[in-house]
Amino acid sequence: KLHRALAGGREGGGLDSPAAGVLPVEGRASSVAGCPGRMAGDNAHRRRGGGGEAAGGGAYVDKGVASNHHASGYPSGKAAGVGSGRDWPLQNRHHSNGSIQPASVDKNLSVQAALQGVDEADEPTEWALRCAAVVLENSQSSRVESECVLAKINIWLAPSVTRQALPAIASSALPVAVVSAIRKYRNEPLTAALCCVVLVKSSGSTTGAQAYLRAGALEEVGALMDRHPLHGGVQNVCLLALCGLMKDGGAARQAVSQGAVARALRAMESTAGREVQFNGLNSLRLLVENGRAQRTGLQEAALRAKVAHQNDDTVSTAADEVLAIVTPRFKEVLCWHWQSGWCKLGPRCTYAHGPVDLGQSRMLGTGPRPG
């Protein structure tokens, strides 16, 4: 789903859309595959003290970003205890009340040393997460360096290791750094979207989501949606991020207060892409069920999604879940037009079209709900 998110809604101009002004996904994927070499080129370029892109050097420095990085940092190699990235075990920091205490970004570690630490690590150890946070949060890191680190984090967060890594990520400086990177690259759709993908994959636990909320993730995700309102891919990953952050009523109510409902509705109206519609419906359901959001406009958005994807059972079910919340007695009574042979409303009809619809209404738990 996350891979599809990066192409997010091709019908509505996803991240691979030429109209979006970014490289195609295929082209970017091939550039990420060469990250280790590019990071090494950047490191060599720093040691030479050059600025900008050196002829034939393969280094990249964003315009307006200083090339002389902070000289301090931990020495590299095994003498410094870095090794392959495994020398620093995963550890959680706890308050006396049992909650996890987030770490701050290491200001004494240079970008060059942090890049080497990320390059050498093959799993999300404490040292690897510290290095990744330094690169993402540092204002002197180039966009290419940040994209390489984000790609490496996605490799670390493979399904087989994500569950074990989530507590360590929640207690590390990575959530703060990822949110900072979303803010830093708000005008770079693909880079900001990669940050959102890392957010989604690393906020799978309640403590992880809370760490991102404390770092201001809701505000930055909302601002990113406002910056690219017609960019289907950006809207898609932002909707995924919203769903990942709203793990309890408090977070959902916070999202409602910051305008998440209007943003979700706008995203669904801007493109008929399947992923945007599906993730938008899931966001709306959480905002209403857990965040007590107003229901204005939700019925029309759900019906529109259901009509656009009436042959897609997954999207239709997600739409029905929203309609069951906002429509009184949804699918509880057979449609007499349908019983007569034809209903002109088709998938927009809120009455049941046969026993299957009636059975779905029981499964969805429709009926009068408290306001």
Main-chain dihedrals φ then ψ at residue 104, nearest 5 degrees: -95, 155
H/E run at residue 313: helix 313-326
Cα(24)–Cα(30) distance, rounded to whole angstroms?
10
Q: What is the mean predicted confidence (pLDDT) over 279-308?
A: 93
- Tokens representing 5 are 């998110």
Cα(288)–Cα(326) distance, rounded to whole angstroms?
9
267-281 tens-digit pLDDT: 999 999 999 999 999
State the alpha helices, DSSP H only, in 215-350: 217-227, 232-245, 249-257, 260-270, 274-289, 298-308, 313-326, 336-340
List CB contacts of 317: < 8 A, sequence separation 6 or more: none
107-145 tens-digit pLDDT: 889 999 999 999 999 999 999 999 999 999 998 999 999
120 strand-pairing partners:
none
Task: Give pLDDT, residue 328.
Answer: 81
Instruction: Collapse the DSSP code of 174 into the 3-class scheme (helix H, G, I; strand E, B; otherwise coil) and give the result.
Output: helix
Please provide the DSSP assignment of 208-233 as one string: HHHHHHHTTHHHHHHHHHHH-TT-HH
| CB distance 265 to 297 below 8 Å | yes
The better pLDDT of the pair 95, 321 is held by: 321
Cα(287)–Cα(303) distance, rounded to whole angstroms?
18
The residue to which tokens 């315009």 are assigned: 63
Task: Give pLDDT, residue 235.
Answer: 97
Cα(22)–Cα(16) distance, rounded to whole angstroms?
7
Q: What is the mean predicted confidence (pLDDT) over 313-336?
A: 86
216-238 tens-digit pLDDT: 999 999 999 999 999 999 999 99
| CB distance 2 to 240 below 8 Å | yes
- The single-letter code of the amino acid at 25 is V
The better pLDDT of the pair 222, 340 is held by: 222
Task: Give pLDDT, residue 163.
Answer: 76
DSSP 12: G
Task: Give pLDDT, residue 131.
Answer: 96
Please provide the DSSP assignment of 173-208 as one string: SHHHHHHHHHHHTTT-HHHHHHHHHHHHHH--SHHH
User: Is 0.85 surpassed by the pTM of this model?
Assistant: no
334 strand-pairing partners:
352
Cα(221)–Cα(241) distance, rounded to whole angstroms?
8
Which one, of 229, 304, 226, 300, lies nearest residue 270 by Cα?
229
83-108 tens-digit pLDDT: 333 443 444 444 444 455 556 788 88
The answer on pLDDT for 66 being more than 50 is no
DSSP 334: B
| CB distance 234 to 241 below 8 Å | no
The residue to which tokens 């280790």 are assigned: 36
- The single-letter code of the amino acid at 296 is T
Name the average pLDDT for the chain.
77
181-221 tens-digit pLDDT: 999 999 999 999 999 999 999 998 899 999 999 999 999 99
Task: Give pLDDT, residue 43.
Answer: 52
Cα(22)–Cα(263) distance, rounded to whole angstroms?
23
